[in-house]
Amino acid sequence: MLPAQSHTFTGMVGYYDGLSHPVLGLDHFLAMVSVGIISAQIGGRAIWSVPSRFVLFMLVGGILSMAAEMSLASETILENIFYEYVLTFIEFGIISSVILLGASIAIEKKLSTTLSTIFVSIFGLCHGLAHGLEMPWATNPILFTLGFVSGTAILHLFGVGIGVFAIRSSFSNYCLKFSGIGCVIYGSYLFIELISYYIL
């Protein structure tokens, strides 16, 4: 299993499983909470627009990936190519989201809102592509999808709450920046693991 591939094809029945799914992998958890924190740091309309964009592009990625998974089920050669190249891109995207979102928290508001929105959209797409591979295998794909969208939204709100509270004082704000550095370190570790996986 690839370093960032925290998702599995087990325990996918309905809404509850989808709801808990984003929490199962630390990489997914950190990225989604980070989106909420960044939106709080930016403030204003970004508090709802940035997380909403992540969820929107995650849904788009999920639909595209689910369609690819179902259409390639009987095409062994194409399926092998898909998993060899596309899945690698997805994993790099997820790991990059942990690193860059963590860095954005650490430097606080140094990136423009437009650039942050672009990053969030790309990362939402990558996370959606990863989840979309699992949807066709769920007992109830629709409920599972609604569950992981709800779980993602809850993690975003959790991140917003952390961000809003943390920026109120200098000490908690510094703690928040250190947590961003922690995300960068963890993401870098995953990146090295992924590179090692393909080299070895």
pLDDT 10s digits, 132-163: 777 766 667 778 788 888 889 999 999 999 99
Residue 163's nearest CA partner among 154, 172, 171 is 172
As a whole number of Å, the CA-based R_g of the chain is 17
**Cα-Cα end-to-end distance for the chain:** 14
**Residue 129 DSSP SS3:** helix
The predicted model scores a pTM of 0.83
CA separation for the pair 112, 187 (Å, rounded): 22
Residue-wise pLDDT tens for the chain (200 aa)? 445 544 444 455 677 777 777 777 788 899 999 999 999 988 888 898 899 999 999 988 888 877 776 666 555 555 566 566 777 788 888 899 999 999 999 987 666 778 888 889 999 998 888 877 777 666 677 787 888 888 899 999 999 999 999 988 889 989 999 999 999 999 999 999 988 877 76
- pLDDT number for residue 145: 81
CA separation for the pair 101, 122 (Å, rounded): 12
Domain ranges of the chain: 15-199
CA separation for the pair 83, 76 (Å, rounded): 10
